[in-house]
Structures are given as structure tokens and as C-alpha cells.
């Protein structure tokens, strides 16, 4: 497994902004269709507002990283991504990381903070999933229809090139598989001891507020929520200034 992780690390597209010596590094973890470029200027804005450094990367199969070897994923694929992130932090000599994850990336952030608490200083998650809900599956089925009937694949190809079909299948086919319906990471949550901010759009089309409440009630560290009315699954895009201000306040308080 270690050899496999080292191989993966060499195939990842990584961007760093190191302007603030002795300050934490915010590590951005994208969603199931995301990449470095799709964060737009949000990481830079948060870095400047908090005087923190930044590391952003494309997971294997996304953006400018190498393709996935297969779109077939095990049910614990996000746990494996947490292991990869831990090795990336070690390789990058980052031991004071603040994780900022969105959707799949948010779940990976929670798992990383649970499995490797000594390296994580704080966590901000947007639209994290800790179990599968009917609304999640409904949102994915709608995305599948959109992929079939609109130019979604062309729009994604702008960022992922010829990797689009594999990454789309990896997301949709994994989450809608019968054996994935019982996927649940709640047992990891008590091991999270660092401060946590959970940001959720009240109108999130992929998850209910149960994801928020059950997360913050089970972690061992300080936890707070920020629920934004009339906002869906991507708060940092739909309500950028609100998320930027709330995240800045959280990071400034905790560092």
C-alpha cells in the first residue's frame, strides 16, 4: 500500500502558495467533480484574509492529475484518500494543516482529522456526507440525467480532459451501488479532537441538515455549524462572501 501511495503522490497535480512563514497551511479538498481550477479565487482570498499558506491538489483522476486506473471503487475509497492526504502532508512537511473540504472532499477531511489528529489543526467542511440519504441518491440520479441530456460532459472536459467519463462513473456508480447504501463513517467522528466548522446550504440538493447535526454532536473537539438559507450544495460559490467571512473568523480564532 505504501508503494502504491508513493506512486499516486507522484501523479498528482499540486499547487502551493507559501507566503506566510510559521503560519498554518489551508489544504483544499475538492468535490466529486472538482479540481484545483474549479475553486476559482476562493483559496487565494481565504489565504490573504487569514495570512495562511495554501496547498490545493487534484485527486487522482481529476483535473491535471493522472487518470484513475479504473472507475470501480471500494466502499472505503474516501478512507483511502485520507491515507493519501496524510502522506502528502508528510511529504510536504506540513504538520499544522487546516483542512477545507467540499462534499467528497469534506468527508475526506473528516476522515483525515479522525485518523491522523496530530497533523490537523482545524477542519472546515462544506456539505460533508457521513452516511447515504435518499436525497443524495435523488440528486445523483438527476445528475446522471443531466449528463445524458445536456452538455455537462463537455463542460467538465474543460477541466478534466479525457478523464470525464471515468470520474463521472466513479462518482455516480459507486454511490448508487447496492452495497454503498449502508456506507457510514459516524464511528470515526469521536476521534476528531480539533476545532470543526460545518458549513451547509439549507437548500443543499445532496444532503439534509441531519449530516450537520449528527457530525457536530459526535466529534470530541469544539464544533460549530453555519447553515446558510437559500443556498445549495456549493456555499463557497453561491454565497462566497458569507463563507469567506465565516471561515476567516473561525481560522483567526483557532490560530
Contact 114, 221 (CB under 8 A): no
At 155 the pLDDT is 97
The pTM for the full model equals 0.97
Residue 32 has pLDDT above 90, yes or no: yes
Instruction: Tell me how far apart the alpha carbons of residues 20 and 153 are, in angstroms, rounded to a whole number.
Output: 39
Stretch 177-196: mean pLDDT: 98
Contact criterion met (CB below 8 Å) for 105 and 31: yes
Range of the domain at 186: 2-254
The pLDDT confidence band at residue 2, using thresholds 50, 70 and 90, is confident
Q: Quote the Cα angle for 123-49-36, to 5°.
A: 60
Q: What is the per-residue DSSP string for the chain?
A: -HHHHHHHHTT-EEEEE--STTS-EEEEE--TT--TGGGTTHHHHHHHHHT-EEEEEEPTTSTTSPPPS-S---TTHHHHHHHHHHHHHHHTT--SEEEEEETHHHHHHHHHHHH-GGGEEEEEEES--SB--HHHHHHHHHHHHHHHHSSHHHHHHHHHGGGHHHHHHHHHHHHTSGGGTT-B-GGGGGG--S-EEEEEETT-TT--THHHHHHHTT-SS-EEEEEETT--S-HHHHTHHHHHHHHHHHHHHH-
Report the pLDDT averaged over residues 119-130.
Answer: 97
If you average pLDDT over residues 59-75, what whole number do you get? 97
pLDDT band, very low/low/confident/very high, at 60 (cuts 50, 70, 90):
very high
Mean pLDDT of 141-169: 97
Q: Give how many domains the chain has, as a whole number.
A: 1
Walk across the sheet containing 223-228 and list its strands: 13-17, 53-58, 25-29, 97-102, 120-126, 196-201, 223-228
Residue 206 has a pLDDT of 97
124 within 8 A of 197, measured Cβ to Cβ? yes
Averaged pLDDT, 11-36: 96
SS (H, E, C) 177-243: CHHHCCCECHHHHHHCCCCEEEEEECCCCCCCCHHHHHHHCCCCCCEEEEEECCCCCCHHHHCHHHH
Q: Is the pLDDT of residue 167 over 80?
A: yes
For residue 252, count other CB atoms closer than 10 A to its CB: 12
Reported as a single tens digit per residue, the pLDDT across 208-250 is 999 999 999 999 999 999 999 999 999 999 999 999 999 999 9
What is the mean pLDDT of the segment spanning 167-191?
98
Provide the CATH number for the domain around residue 235. Answer: 3.40.50.1820
What's the pLDDT at 38?
97
Are 86 and 111 a contacting pair, CB within 8 Å? no
Q: What is the pLDDT of residues 95-104, one digit of tens each?
A: 999 999 999 9
pLDDT at 196 over 80: yes
Tell me the pLDDT band of 3, cut-offs 50, 70 and 90.
confident
Q: What is the pLDDT of residue 240?
A: 98
Average pLDDT (173-184) is: 98
Please give the share of the chain, as a percent, with pLDDT higher than 70: 100
Distances (CA, A) of 7 to 38, 55, 176: 25, 19, 29
Amino acid at each position: 500500500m505504501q508503494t502504491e501511495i508513493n506512486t499516486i503522490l507522484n501523479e498528482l497535480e499540486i499547487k502551493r502558495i507559501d507566503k506566510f512563514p510559521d503560519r498554518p497551511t489551508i489544504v483544499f479538498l475538492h468535490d466529486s467533480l472538482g479540481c484545483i481550477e474549479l475553486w476559482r479565487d476562493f483559496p487565494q482570498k481565504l489565504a490573504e484574509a487569514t495570512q495562511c499558506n495554501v496547498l490545493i491538489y487534484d485527486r487522482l483522476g481529476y483535473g491535471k492529475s493522472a487518470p484513475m486506473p479504473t472507475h470501480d471503487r471500494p466502499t472505503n475509497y474516501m478512507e483511502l484518500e485520507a491515507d493519501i492526504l496524510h502522506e502528502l502532508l508528510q511529504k510536504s512537511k506540513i504538520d499544522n494543516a487546516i483542512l477545507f473540504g467540499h462534499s467528497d472532499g469534506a468527508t475526506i477531511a473528516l476522515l483525515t482529522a479522525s485518523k491522523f489528529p496530530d497533523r490537523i489543526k482545524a477542519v472546515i467542511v462544506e456539505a460533508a456526507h457521513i452516511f447515504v440519504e435518499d436525497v443524495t441518491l435523488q440528486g445523483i440520479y438527476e445528475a446522471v440525467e443531466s449528463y445524458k441530456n445536456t452538455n455537462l460532459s463537455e463542460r467538465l472536459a474543460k477541466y478534466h480532459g479525457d478523464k470525464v467519463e471515468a470520474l463521472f462513473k466513479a462518482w455516480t456508480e459507486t454511490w448508487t451501488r447496492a452495497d454503498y447504501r449502508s456506507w457510514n463513517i459516524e464511528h470515526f467522528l469521536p476521534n476528531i479532537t480539533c476545532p470543526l466548522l460545518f458549513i451547509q446550504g439549507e437548500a443543499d440538493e445532496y444532503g439534509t441538515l441531519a449530516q450537520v447535526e449528527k457530525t457536530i454532536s459526535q466529534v470530541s473537539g469544539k464544533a460549530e455549524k453555519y447553515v446558510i438559507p437559500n443556498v445549495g450544495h456549493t456555499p463557497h460559490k453561491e454565497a462566497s462572501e458569507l463563507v469567506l467571512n465565516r471561515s476567516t473568523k473561525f481560522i483567526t480564532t483557532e490560530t
